[in-house]
């Protein structure tokens, strides 16, 4: 503004000094002469190399996970992510309809389990197969899973039985009351499946139709499985998909830090609560 004022007065034949222009505009000369200078950010190149090594191994990891794995301050890692544009892009989500809140969380292990199904591409021969997962809503641990071609009630039962064996060591009626949350799909509401759940002493609870938010715990787990395992592979067969999922679920339960669990693994949380 000061420069334009000086130029306009000079063009009219009435040149003025910077002092006069600043006095007329009420601006201090120090502000007029000030030139902002921004220092080039300093980067810890050694730390940056370590961060990139983790990202190459775990491309889905955010700055909190990377900081925990490296034993560094999360604010330092976040600054590196911002300066080098390493942030994990988040998918934009629009408005969600208001539904009745039925929390899927639990206050202790084996209070509530959740189950759901997802599709997995297993190559041109088997094509789309069904993955059924059973998880503990307190520890977030994957207790049982089954990848099958049909995704029928028998496969869902197998995943449930695997969860029971994983938790109790044997198959049989459980002593404590465990709530098993699921949607209203044909598999989970079938007579064959509901009879099996009843015989093992579990209590089924269903969410409202078209409200997956009410089963958000297992829905979020399935999203994690897709982002961190399924979408990183192009399976050629059902057996290859099974082997990959088996390794990943072991990693998820025993090694992967979980932010909602205070950067502990599901197995660690179960041992602490036992």
Q: pLDDT at position 259, please? A: 86
Which phi and psi angles does 130 have, rounded to 5°? -110, 130
Q: pLDDT at position 243, please? A: 95
Q: pLDDT at position 159, please? A: 94
CB 134 within 8 A of CB 115: yes
Verify that 237 and 171 share a domain, yes or no: yes
Verify that 185 and 263 share a domain, yes or no: yes
Verify that 79 and 169 share a domain, yes or no: no
Structure tokens at 209: 């139709």
Which phi and psi angles does 128 have, rounded to 5°? -80, 125
The answer to whether the Cα torsion of 171, 174, 179, 185 is positive or negative is: positive
Verify that 55 and 14 share a domain, yes or no: no
CB 183 within 8 A of CB 71: no
Q: pLDDT at position 92, please? A: 66
Verify that 171 and 237 share a domain, yes or no: yes
Regions in the chain scoring below 50 on pLDDT: none
Provide CB contacts within 8 A for 268, sequence distance 6+.
261
Verify that 74 and 120 share a domain, yes or no: no
- Domain residue limits at 58: 45-83
End-to-end, the C-alpha distance of the chain in Å comes to: 71
Verify that 10 and 77 share a domain, yes or no: no
Domain count, the chain: 3
Verify that 162 and 56 share a domain, yes or no: no
Assigned domain for 92 exists: no
- Unique residue bearing structure tokens 């995943």: 159
Which helix (H) or strand (E) segment holds residue 114: the answer is strand 112-121
Assigned domain for 160 exists: yes
Q: pLDDT at position 188, please? A: 92
């Amino acid at each position: 503004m000061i420069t334009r004022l000086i130029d306009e007065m000079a063009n009219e034949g009435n040149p003025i000094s910077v002092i006069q222009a600043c006095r007329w505009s009420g601006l201090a000369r120090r502000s007029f002469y000030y030139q902002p200078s921004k220092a080039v950010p300093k980067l810890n190149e050694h730390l940056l190399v370590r961060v990139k090594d983790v990202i190459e191994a775990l491309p889905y990891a955010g700055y909190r996970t990377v900081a925990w794995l490296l034993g560094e301050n999360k604010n330092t890692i976040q600054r590196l992510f911002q300066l080098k544009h390493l942030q994990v892009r988040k998918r934009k989500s629009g408005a969600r309809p208001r539904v009745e809140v039925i929390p899927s969380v639990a206050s202790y292990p084996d209070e509530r389990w959740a189950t759901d199904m997802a599709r997995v591409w297993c190559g041109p021969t088997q094509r789309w197969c069904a993955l059924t997962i059973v998880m503990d809503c307190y520890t977030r641990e994957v207790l049982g899973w089954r990848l099958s071609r049909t995704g029928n009630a028998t496969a869902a039962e197998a995943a449930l039985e695997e969860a029971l064996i994983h938790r109790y060591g044997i198959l049989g009626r459980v002593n404590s009351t465990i709530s098993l949350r699921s949607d209203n799909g044909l598999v989970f509401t079938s007579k064959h499946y509901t009879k099996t759940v009843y015989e093992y002493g579990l209590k089924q609870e269903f969410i409202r139709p078209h409200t997956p938010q009410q089963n958000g715990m297992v829905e979020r787990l399935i999203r994690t499985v897709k982002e961190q395992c399924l979408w990183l592979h192009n399976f050629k067969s059902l057996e290859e998909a099974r082997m990959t999922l088996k390794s990943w679920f072991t990693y998820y339960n025993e090694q992967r830090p979980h932010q909602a669990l205070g950067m502990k693994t599901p197995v660690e949380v179960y041992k602490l609560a036992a």
